[in-house]
Each structure stands twice: as C-alpha cells, then as structure tokens.
Amino acid sequence: MGSHVFRPLWVAIAVIILIFVVRYFMVPSDFGIQERGFTYGFHRKSDESEWAGIKAKYKGRDYCKSCHAEKYRSIMNSKHRIIQCENCHGPALNHPVNPPKLVIDRKRALCLRCHTYLPYPGSQRSRIEGIDPAKHNPGISCVECHNPHKPDLELAK
Amino acid sequence: MKNTDTRREFLKTALKSMVVSSMTIGSIFTFLSPEEARAAVKNVRWGFLVDTNKCVGCGLCVKACKLENDVPYSDPITRTWVERYVVLNNGRLLIDSPNGGRDGYTSEVTTTRLVQESNLSAVATKFTTSTAITNKITPDEIANAFFVPKLCNQCDKPPCVQVCPVGATYQMENGIVLVDRSWCIGCGYCIQACPYGARFFNPVLHTAEKCTFCYHRLVKKMQPACVEACPFGARKIGNLMDPSDPVRKIILSEKVGVLKPAYGTKPQAFYIGLGKNVR
C-alpha cells in the first residue's frame, strides 16, 4: 500500500495519542464511576468533600442563648417562640468576631411577611393575627409600639 | 435404537453442565460477613417532607436559603421558592411567585412577571412571562388559596444528571444531586432537563446551580437552612433508610404526594396536603 494510506493513518494515530496525553493531565485521577453507577455516579469523587467542607452561615438560636440570654428567654416565653433569631437578624456567620454586630431590621416589611391579613380560608395564614398595613398605623415602624421579642398586646403602646 | 443413546447422552451432558455451572456460580457469589452486608446496604437516603397545610407564605425559607448558599440576593433566581395558588369560585387558577416568594406574600393582589393562568372549564392554559398581570381579587371570589414551597426533589432517577455531557453533575449514594463547580462548563442542558425548574444558572460562578438539601450542613448534623428557618414546621428532612426517622414514618403511613410523578423521575420530596391543581 502506498503512503497515501499510511500518512493520514499516522496523523490519526498521533491525534489519538495526543488526546490520551491531554486526558492524562487534564482529568483528575479520582474521576470515574462511583456508587450510583455510570448513569448517575460518573464524577470527580473529591467534589463531594469540597461541598461538605463549606461553612454553615446560620447557626440556630441555641448559639445566641449564651450571650443574649435575656432576649432568648423573652422570646421563648412569647408567641414568637417559633421564630428563629436569624430570621430577623440575618445569618450569624462568625458573629460576634465578624461581623461584630448583626443586622437590626426595623422595617415594617419584616413583620408584614406574616402579619398582613390575607383572606385565604383554607390556609394557616388566616389564623395568624393579621392587620391591614394600609390602616394599621401606616408609616410608623411596628417595633415603635410592639416588642418583637415579647409581642404581647397588653404591652403595645 | 439410536434414540435412547442420544437421550442418555443428553442427560449426561445436562447433569455435567449443571454441576459445573453451579460450581462456577458458587465461586462468583462470595459470602459477606454481617458487617460487610450492613455496609453494603445503603444506610442514608435523604428525603424531604413539605406540609403545604402549614405554610403561611412568609418566605423566610427562601431568604435563609439564598443567604446561606450565596445565591445573589437581588437576582430573580433561587434554589427554593414558594408558590401561591389562588383558586377562584369560577374555576380560574392564579399561580404566582414574585421573586420566588423571597419577601413573603404581603398583598392579596397577585401581580408578578410569571403568572400562570388557567381556565379550568375551558381547558386552556396560558403562560405569560413578560407582561405583568395584575389581579385584584375580592375575598368572596376565593374558593381556596394556599402556598406550595418547592425545591430540588433529589430524584431517584435524575434526568438532569443523565444529560450532563462532562460528568459535572452527579448523584451521591445518599441521593443528593450535586454540581461539580470546577468541572461544569455551563452548557445549561441540565437546566433544560429538569421538569421542575429547580436548576438555574449562577451568574457569578457561571455554572449550573441547584438545591443541595444543604449537604454542607447535613454532614455537620445541622438541618438545612430552610428547614431551620421555617417557624411553622412546614419543611422537614429525614433519612428514608432509618426505621426510627419521623419523616420516614409519615411518608409510609400518611397520604403524601409528589410533583409530576408521570415523568418517572421518582422525586424524593414528598408533600402533605398537595392540592390537585398543583403542578
């Protein structure tokens, strides 16, 4: 056979070898078929531990308990005991080191998430004491009159 | 004459091959010690339980999820979202989810960029994505209204994983589907493949993005951010392999539904009180 057959064949073989060389350097060694088989488990194994290593930002209210004991006690004895501190104050991150203070959100929108009255008969929503934001002291921050950590109506100013 | 010969031959070879094959099969099966057998059985499979009866649409789960997982807060993308369904007396169905419900539902007016309006009597469905529809509804028009939190179903047969051309998205043994951010090329096939719309494009990292059931928290024995944030207990997570798990008990004993079962994806987020209009 003439060189017109072999020349392109050498090129093809060279390309295939190149692909294997590139693959050797590019593809991590732990890339392969894992527990869930080829269809669902073909991946780089170490990515799992990379995801697992991400730091949690929300810490839960037991974390706040030791330093803000008074706020904790107050809210746990109120109708707001079901609400986590970080829902209103944002994620703890590394507080009190960084950030040294958490957000204090005095906007009406925070309270209106739950307290805007919606006429939804089947929904649990209509069972929370609701107000009409346009009529209930518009323009004034809710926490001027209500204590978010102790929302008793007797204390409402 | 020759007939008996062949029958005898046949029975002989049959017996021989049976003995030989049973020996080889016997050597293929290895007997596991009890510890090995226990390790071979999957012992963690995360599943989610949403109680739509308890959801009030406060959106605190969406807020917590976005902040916990660094999803750009002001962009209209989110890993979990809350939809509002308003069923009117005349059979009309209004579905909306402004900003994924991030700021809660503070108005009875359904107004958002994505409204699905379907007239059930006329069997005509209309999707409107660009024009805002504003529906002012009076309370006596409403037959029923409820909220449906949604998130990745971590399907047992995840179509998003099958379509990935580079092996960047995968399912772990515990059922959670993850995206390898250093390997994803951002082609978007998986986003298209998900029938639940649970995936989106992360504009900062330029990779596909999805709910991970907060895997980074689960490994630290913490609850996912949305589960912890929900004041009403509408969202729960559990190990479906653990016989003592309360979530597993509810799924096994109560009437629960899944979203779009006809797609054959075997979703692992279960819903209590799933209305028949929910899709």
**Distance of alpha carbon B51 from alpha carbon B55, whole angstroms:** 7
Q: How confident is the model at residue B120 (pLDDT cuts 50, 70, 90)?
A: very low
How many structural domains is chain A composed of?
A: 2
Closest CA to A42 of A31, A29, A53: A31
Residue B1 pLDDT more than 50?
A: no
Residue A53 pLDDT more than 70?
A: yes
Q: Let me know if residue A154 belongs to a domain.
A: no
**Distance of alpha carbon B188 from alpha carbon B195, whole angstroms:** 14
- For residue B25, CA distances in Å to A44, B16, B29 come to 34, 14, 6
**Distance of alpha carbon B240 from alpha carbon B171, whole angstroms:** 16
Q: Specify the pTM.
A: 0.88
At B39 the pLDDT is 55
**Distance of alpha carbon B161 from alpha carbon B171, whole angstroms:** 7
Segment B154-179 shows an average pLDDT of 96
Query: Does residue A80 share a domain with residue A119?
Result: yes
Using CB atoms within 10 A of its CB, is residue B245 exposed (0-12), middle (13-18) or buried (19+)? middle
Higher-pLDDT residue of A4, A108: A108
With an 8 Å Cβ cutoff, the interface of chain A facing chain B consists of 31, 34-36, 39-44, 47-48, 51-58, 60, 82-84, 86-87, 90-91, 109, 112-114, 116, 118-125, 128, 133
Higher-pLDDT residue of B122, B14: B14
B215·A128 Cβ contact <8 A: no
Pair of tokens at residue B134: 């504003």
At B129 the pLDDT is 39
**Distance of alpha carbon B25 from alpha carbon A82, whole angstroms:** 59
Query: Does residue A43 share a domain with residue A23?
Result: yes
Q: Let me know if residue A156 belongs to a domain.
A: no
Mean pLDDT of the residues in chain B: 84
Q: Decide if B272 contacts B49 (C-beta within 8 A).
A: yes
A62 neighbourhood in chain B, CB within 8 Å: none
Annotate B31-57 with b (16+ C-beta within 10 A) or e (fewer): eeeeeeeeeeeeeebbbbbbbbbbbbb
Q: How confident is the model at residue B191 (pLDDT cuts 50, 70, 90)?
A: very high
Furthest CA-CA distance within chain A: 102
Query: Does residue A70 share a domain with residue A136?
Result: yes
Interface contact B53, partner A, CB < 8 A: yes
- For residue A49, CA distances in Å to A37, A43, A52, B215, B216 come to 19, 13, 5, 10, 9
B173 neighbourhood in chain A, CB within 8 Å: 34-36
Query: Does residue A138 share a domain with residue A91?
Result: yes
Q: How confident is the model at residue B213 (pLDDT cuts 50, 70, 90)?
A: very high
B106 neighbourhood in chain A, CB within 8 Å: 109, 112-113, 116, 133
Query: Does residue A81 share a domain with residue A48?
Result: no
**Distance of alpha carbon B79 from alpha carbon B71, whole angstroms:** 8
Mutation to test the A interface, candidates B85, B137, B180, most A Cβ within 10 Å: B180
Mean pLDDT of the residues in chain A: 93
Segment B136-143 shows an average pLDDT of 83
A28 secondary structure, DSSP code: -
Query: Does residue A39 share a domain with residue A84?
Result: no
Residue B121 pLDDT more than 70?
A: no
Chain B, nearest residue to A114 by Cα: B58
Pair of tokens at residue B98: 């402004």
B216·A122 Cβ contact <8 A: no
**Distance of alpha carbon A73 from the chain centroid:** 26
B 257-276 residues inside an 8 A Cβ radius of A: none
> B235-269: per-residue pLDDT in tens?
999 999 999 999 999 999 999 999 999 999 999 99
At B114 the pLDDT is 43
Annotate B213-241 with b (16+ C-beta within 10 A) or e (fewer): bbbbbbbeebbbbbbbbbbbebbbbbbbb
At B107 the pLDDT is 86
B56·A34 Cβ contact <8 A: no
Query: Does residue A68 share a domain with residue A140?
Result: yes
A119 neighbourhood in chain B, CB within 8 Å: 108, 139, 142, 145
> B69-84: per-residue pLDDT in tens?
999 999 999 999 999 9
Q: Let me know if residue A152 belongs to a domain.
A: no
Segment B143-152 shows an average pLDDT of 94
Query: Does residue A74 share a domain with residue A34?
Result: no
Would you say how long chain B is, in residues? 279
Query: Does residue A139 share a domain with residue A74?
Result: yes
Chain B, nearest residue to A57 by Cα: B68
**Distance of alpha carbon A22 from alpha carbon A24, whole angstroms:** 5
A52·B108 Cβ contact <8 A: no
Q: How confident is the model at residue B7 (pLDDT cuts 50, 70, 90)?
A: confident
Q: Decide if A64 contacts A100 (C-beta within 8 A).
A: no
- For residue B38, CA distances in Å to A46, A81, A84 come to 24, 41, 38
**Residue A109 is part of which domain span?**
61-144
Query: Does residue A95 share a domain with residue A70?
Result: yes
Q: Let me know if residue A81 belongs to a domain.
A: yes
A36·B147 Cβ contact <8 A: no
Query: Does residue A69 share a domain with residue A122?
Result: yes
Residue A34 pLDDT more than 80?
A: yes
Q: Let me know if residue A37 belongs to a domain.
A: yes
Q: How confident is the model at residue B37 (pLDDT cuts 50, 70, 90)?
A: low
Bridge partners of residue B116, in order along the sequence: B95, B127
Of A141-155, B222-236, B248-262, which range is least confident? A141-155
B228·A116 Cβ contact <8 A: no
**Distance of alpha carbon B111 from alpha carbon B138, whole angstroms:** 14
Q: Decide if B248 contacts B47 (C-beta within 8 A).
A: yes
Domains of chain B, CATH where assigned: 19-82+150-272 (3.30.70.20)
Helices (H) and strands (E) in chain B, counts: 8, 15
Query: Does residue A79 share a domain with residue A124?
Result: yes
Chain A, nearest residue to B140 by Cα: A119
Contacts of B25 (CB under 8 A, 6+ apart): none
Q: How confident is the model at residue B115 (pLDDT cuts 50, 70, 90)?
A: very low
> A80-91: per-residue pLDDT in tens?
999 999 999 999
Q: How confident is the model at residue B126 (pLDDT cuts 50, 70, 90)?
A: very low
Higher-pLDDT residue of B22, B226: B226
- For residue B108, CA distances in Å to A107, A116, B57, B184, B275 come to 20, 9, 12, 41, 20
Q: Let me know if residue A104 belongs to a domain.
A: yes
Residue by residue, DSSP assigns B91-135 as SEEEEE-GGGGTT----SSEEES-EEEEETTTTEEEEESSS-EEE
Q: Let me know if residue A39 belongs to a domain.
A: yes
Residue in B161, B169, B216 closest to A56 by CB: B216
Residue B176 pLDDT more than 60?
A: yes
Q: Let me know if residue A116 belongs to a domain.
A: yes
Q: Residue A35: how many CB atoms within 10 A of its CB?
A: 13
Pair of tokens at residue A41: 């488990």
| Distance (Å) from the alpha carbon of B231 to chain A's nearest alpha carbon | 5
B67·A35 Cβ contact <8 A: no
